[in-house]
Amino acid sequence: MSNIIRENRGFIFSTDLLLALIVVSIILGLSAEIVDTISYKMQNYGSRNSLERLAHEGADILIKSPGSPDNWEELNEGEIKYPGLSSLDNDHSPPKGHLLSYKKILKLKKDYEKIIPGNFFPGYVDCSMIIYPLDKTLDPLVIYDSPHLSVSNEVVVVNRSVLCDYRSPGCLLYLNIRPDSLNSESIFLEKCHQLDHGIENGEEYWICRNFRINRSQMKNHSYYLISTSNAAQFQWIMDQSCNKSNNRREFTNNPLKLDGDIKSLSNNMDYEVFFLHINLKKGFSGSFEIMVVEVPIDTPLKELKSEFFKIQPCNFVLKAGIKN
């Protein structure tokens, strides 16, 4: 009888021990799962923090720095330390505000794959860079748009307000001509070698302005006269003080190529001054803009419109994600 009691006690003890071991195992399993979950969340948190830091610092470098060297857009990728999109003033100092250089943007767009992945950003970072002009008549400037960001687990978006110079450095002459009552007297003050242009003649008068061309630029550039729609009712003459002309032509709604005029008038000087004479009718209504621009020979026709030769407010949007 006593043996049976001892055996029962042993059986009861063994059952209690087994239950205790099961409970401990469950607790340990739950603890391990909790630790794994916390570890995973910490990794995600650290990964996102690292990604945010890379994205924000990268965006700041691009919009606030001209890059190194500051003329990197003219160099081969092996000579570039890092890119920057900030434009430079004539004294090679960054301008006030975040003014981006269109030339640098085009260079980064062309050689993005050679400059950014594994160099500017680590190889595991996927990225998109797009500049959105506030003027909706201008298309977004897509530097690079990754097709893989849509499936990335983590994406950081950085949005910065910037200015873009587009092709404004190539504007050699700009006139905003308004009705007589709104024009200031100073618009008529520039002296003209065509003496009769300084004299009011019945129902018409002239506004004359000059612009200068560097002969070394002529080989790789073309020149255009661009006007907005209301200019079509007026006429213009182009000449030089030593080579006068009375050949009147009408403005059109399309860019007018001036290469032939410049070549025929040129005296083969290092720098040459040309005059644009604009014939106006008294009492005209509306206003219009006139520009003489210098652009690389391969410039697309869609960029030969007045908006491209003004500094434009834009949003610089950088998206960064971890490659899967």
Question: What's the gap between Cα 124 and its chain centre?
Answer: 25
Which residues touch 10 (CB under 8 Å, ≥6 apart)? none
Contact 290, 258 (CB under 8 A): no
The least confident of 28-32, 57-61, 114-118 is: 28-32
Burial class (CB in 10 A: 0-12, 13-18, 19+), 166: buried
Whole-angstrom Cα distance, residue 67 to residue 246? 49
22 pLDDT above the threshold of 80: no
The 10s digit of each residue's pLDDT in 88-108 is: 875 555 555 689 999 999 999
5 pLDDT above the threshold of 50: no
Q: What is the pLDDT of residue 31?
A: 46
Task: Collapse the DSSP code of 174 into the 3-class scheme (helix H, G, I; strand E, B; otherwise coil) and give the result.
Answer: strand
Domain residue ranges in the chain: 1-165+311-324, 169-298
- Six token digits for residue 86: 């900030």
Whole-angstrom Cα distance, residue 120 to residue 128? 13
230 pLDDT above the threshold of 60: yes
Task: Return the sign of the alpha-carbon dihedral for residues 173, 177, 180, 182.
Answer: negative
The 10s digit of each residue's pLDDT in 242-254 is: 999 999 999 988 9
The 10s digit of each residue's pLDDT in 160-201 is: 999 999 999 999 999 998 865 555 444 544 568 776 776 666
- State the residue for tokens 């200031």: 184
Task: Enter the pTM of the model.
Answer: 0.78
User: Strands across the sheet with 204-214, in order?
Assistant: 204-214, 271-281, 235-239, 249-250
The 10s digit of each residue's pLDDT in 264-312 is: 999 888 999 999 999 888 877 778 899 999 999 999 999 999 999 999 9
- Six token digits for residue 133: 């002009």
The 10s digit of each residue's pLDDT in 48-77 is: 688 999 999 999 999 999 999 999 999 998
- State the residue for tokens 């960029």: 303
